[in-house]
Structure 1
């Protein structure tokens, strides 16, 4: 399985200046290649490399392998744009957003991430240093650091490209690691997980991870941003810059912690993990105007991603099931009605009288659907005589 590991670089002032000049040169070259690809209608790797390889080496001071990486970066960007357009992520073909995206070449920020392969970047694991190509020549002995677990995975399983990133004035390398996949065992049962806003996650076992703290923190961050933006002073701008992505990091930390606990319980008890499939939730759910921002920015998808990759790494089966009426269906008699959930936190079946916390009932319904879906998937195909 593919995994990325992020390490922090600790360059000197001279090394940082060389890295910055390299990143800016590569992104200027990428913008030039993207513009030429758009004007000439050539967006395949071989065609672009044949047209522009010599040009970008001469104009931007890149050596052979970085020039190849720049072309590949542009090809990947156009491939991503085409995939987004096919999936409808850029809106309808008649929308102004779609027209803006498709009627102009892809652009690259001056400090956008730049990939380096083993010809341009080498790792010295024992010394915890790297040697990297720059526009000013090969830069050696750049120190890096990270957590013990990350460094162990990096040194044992690193394979492929690494991306050089500058974020908030700090330098990072994001390396691709190829880990062996553990054997997946047949699940003895399932843990159903219901995701929400009031409760970030609720399992069919009754474990509840409340979202009250995150909701209050996000509200406080919104007030703080508004207060600083209103001042319009240099010091307020600096504080806003320092606080950027702090709220996102907090939500990411919570999702990591929740997913780690759920996966560890599933691994210890020999069960699989089932979640609701929330694709298209914005189209299915009608909300008040004041609720739209909360739903759009809440990290449902990220929690599902973390559960999926942590489960895969632990050898736990992960499954997505149909999300329709999980909070309105009675898991005992199967009666489904909106009135079964008279309040947000309470469930009471109008037919058989089963009552309990609404999110736990939803988690039980997710678990039951996973049981049925898994039994169907693993059902042997009957033999058909010729």
Structure 2
């Protein structure tokens, strides 16, 4: 499976200037290629190369950098066309679609630029890279690393790496082709995972990953955003953007740690993982006004994606189940009743009298449904009749 690994470059001031100028040059060139493509009706990559390659070389781009710039532009238009075809940019004549189609695609001055093995080489033992720039080849550019990231890079890096500049720092994002473990075809049960807001994730083993800290952080962020939006100055808008990125990184880190814990538990106990299929839940539910912010900032999809790719990498089976009535159904006797949930945290069955934490009960129901779905979906092992 393909994953990406990010390392932070630690260039000297001269190296940083060369990298910054290179990014600005290639993105200016990409904007020019985009205007040519737009004027000519977005020709194929080979046709676009005939109209732009010589000019890109004259602008100081190397052969490989010029080829990557042209391919970048063509891929951007392919993505735009796919989004229009899928209806992601409103209906024909809509404001977003009209805006997207009325001008060439633009690239930010610090947007990512791909580098292949001809433009970029890694020296893992020395912890440095050698990279092409418009000022010539930069050698001995140091990078920061973690032991896990370095091992993945050394053993599994394949294909291109992207150079980006974010918040004044340079990063290399490398594509790695990591081998997957064989899928466990006979899991010893399933670990049910109930995703929520008060508890980000609760497992059928009784483990609860509380969302109290993350929710408090989001509330502080919302209060600060309200004040900055009311202020409306240029520096306030700059700080708003910076705070938004910081909150997103924190939420992603929390989801990474939770997903790693869940997958590690399932792998250690030779079980599969059962998740609720929550696609479209924001459109289905009706919410009070004071609840809308918390539900729409709920990153259940990201957590589900993290669990999915970690499970695939570890060979852990993963199934999605129907979430209907998992919170109202008793995991012991199967009785379903709205009154089984006297409040958010408690579950008390009206039929058999069992009491437990509501999220623990839901996760047990999800685990049972996951086991049933896996059994129903497996291929039969019964020999065919002679």
TM-score between both structures, scaled by the size of structure 2: 0.90
1:108 and 2:114 are equivalent in the alignment: no
Give the match for residue 153 of structure 2.
154
CA 1:103/1:327 → structure 2, altered by over 3 Å: closer, same or farther? farther
The corresponding residue for 1:304 is: 304
Q: Distance in 2 between matches of 1:294 and 1:43?
A: 45
- Residue 189 of structure 1 corresponds to 189
- Say which is worse superposed, 223-232 or 177-186, in terms of deviation: 223-232
State how far apart, in whole Å, the 1-side matches of 2:335 and 2:92 are: 42
Aligned residues: 385
Q: TM-score w.r.t. structure 1 length?
A: 0.90
- Map of 2:323 onto structure 1: 323
Q: State the secondary structure of the residue aligned to 2:206.
A: coil
Query: Which residue number in structure 2 is paired with residue 139 of structure 1?
Result: 138
Matched, 1:46 2:15: no
Indicate yes or no: 2:282 matched with 1:282: yes
Q: Residues 26-175 of structure 1: matches in 2 within 5 Å? A: 26-58=26-58, 60-93=59-92, 95-175=94-174
**After the TM superposition, which of the residue ranges 157-166 and 178-187 deviates more from structure 2?**
178-187
Range 370-379 or range 155-164, more displaced: 370-379
Could you say which residue in structure 1 is the equivalent of 2:291? 291
Quickly say closer, same or farther: Cα 1:158–1:205, change in 2 above 3 A: same
CA distance, structure 1, for counterparts of residue 347 and residue 57 of structure 2: 66
Please state how far the C-alpha of 1:110 moved relative to its aligned partner: 0.9
Seen in structure 2, the aligned counterparts of structure 1 residues 34 and 385 have a Cα distance that, compared at 3 Å, is: farther
Aligned residue for 2:56, secondary structure, equals: helix
Could you tell me whether the CA contact under 8 Å between 2:4 and 2:174 is conserved in 1? Answer: yes
- Compared with structure 1, are the counterparts of its residues 341 and 86 closer, same or farther at alpha carbon in structure 2 (3 Å cutoff)? farther
Q: Structure 2 CA distance, aligned partners of 1:39 and 1:385?
A: 66
Does the 8 A contact of 2:131 with 2:137 survive in 1?
yes
Query: Hey, what's the Cα distance between the residues in 2 that align with 1:177 and 1:93?
Result: 39
Unpaired runs of 5+ residues, structure 1, are none
Q: CA shift at 1:75, angstroms? A: 2.4
Secondary structure at the counterpart of residue 181 of structure 1: coil
Greater Cα shift, 289-298 or 240-249: 240-249
- Three-state SS of the structure 2 residue aligned to 1:213 is helix
Match for residue 199 of structure 2?
Answer: 199
1:371 paired to 2:371: yes
Q: SS state of the match for residue 191, structure 2? A: strand
Contact map agreement 1:114 1:164 (CA 8 A) in 2: yes
Which deviates the most, 43-52 or 2-11?
43-52
Unaligned runs of 5+ in 2: none
- Gap change, CA 1:218 and 1:43, over 3 Å in 2: farther
Q: Please state if 1:176 is matched with 2:183.
A: no
The answer on whether the counterparts of 2:221 and 2:243 sit within 8 Å (CA) in structure 1 is no
Distance 1:358 1:31, change over 3 A: same
The change in CA–CA distance for 1:335 and 1:50 in structure 2 (over 3 A counts) is: farther
Q: Is the 8 A contact 1:43 1:78 kept in 2?
A: no
State the distance in 2 between where 1:144 and 1:72 align. 27
SS at match of 2:118: coil
Structure 2 residue matching 1:245: 3-state secondary structure: helix
SS of 2:183's equivalent in the other structure is: coil
- Once residues 106 and 260 of structure 1 are traced to their aligned partners in structure 2, the CA distance between those partners, rounded to angstroms, is 38
Distance 2:376 2:29 in 1: 53
Tell me, in whole angstroms, the C-alpha distance in 1 between the residues paired with 2:345 and 2:86: 35
Within the alignment, does 1:263 sit opposite 2:263 as a pair?
A: yes
Closer/same/farther in 2, CA of residues 139 and 348 from structure 1, 3 Å limit? same
Distance in 1 of aligned mates of 2:181 and 2:336? 39
Please give the root-mean-square deviation of Cα atoms over the aligned residues, in Å.
2.6
